[in-house]
Structure 1
Amino acid sequence: MSASESAGTDADAAGWDAVRELPPSAKLVAKTLEYNDTLTQSQLAEETLLPPRTVRYGLNRLEEVGVVESRFSFSDARKRIYTLTIDESR
């Protein structure tokens, strides 16, 4: 394992440790993103069966701890696409 791979693994561990401290809704959103790569907020609400407001809260908390990235959708600039930045599942 190279130094950069080791650093990535350490960051992944720290990321999941940070997620463990978050509310259950944020954990569910993180796990859903882990299995689905990228989703919009409305897709997350549909997948998790959580209200859109709860999904938004979970995404905000995940962004605060730095484990979720968002970008504008190319197909609809009004929407954002969310991606989990933790690679290794724990």
Structure 2
Amino acid sequence: MSATAIDGDTVEALEDLPPSAKLVAKVLEYNDTLTQSELAEETLLPARTVRYALTRLEEQDVVESRFSFSDARKRIYTLA
């Protein structure tokens, strides 16, 4: 578990986002890569809320997603 620091541009992008998006970004800061279901577990947020947060974070270019090599049905999320 290695931390990826959130830089100044990312902090600025997060300012206008909902608290759920900020929490998801913070969890990704400490966990590098997680799936949506892992994010829901870590944040204790409903899956639907995590999905919305990830959509907002991707719109702001705060997170990137890619398909999982172990399970192509899942996406892996990381900080951009």
Q: Any unmatched runs of 5+ in structure 2?
A: 1-6
CA RMSD for the aligned pairs?
A: 0.6
Q: Distance in 2 between matches of 1:62 and 1:27?
A: 9
**SS of 2:42's equivalent?**
helix
- Look up the match of 2:25: 30
Within 5 Å, which residues of 2 pair with 1:1-90? 12-85=7-80
Q: Distance in 2 between matches of 1:76 and 1:68?
A: 20
Q: Distance in 2 between matches of 1:50 and 1:15?
A: 22
Map Cα deviations across residues 46-79 of structure 1 (whole Å, 9 max, x no partner): 0000000000000000000001000000000000
TM-score normalised by structure 2 residue count: 0.90
| Count of aligned pairs | 74
Identical positions, percent: 78
**SS of 1:83's equivalent?**
strand
Give the letter for the 1:13 counterpart.
G
List 4+ stretches of structure 1 deviating above 2 A.
none
Q: Distance in 2 between matches of 1:38 and 1:47?
A: 12
**SS of 2:38's equivalent?**
helix
Higher helix share: 1
TM-score normalised by structure 1 residue count: 0.80
Q: Any unmatched runs of 5+ in structure 1?
A: 1-11, 86-90
Question: Is the radius of gyration larger for structure 1 or structure 2?
Answer: 1
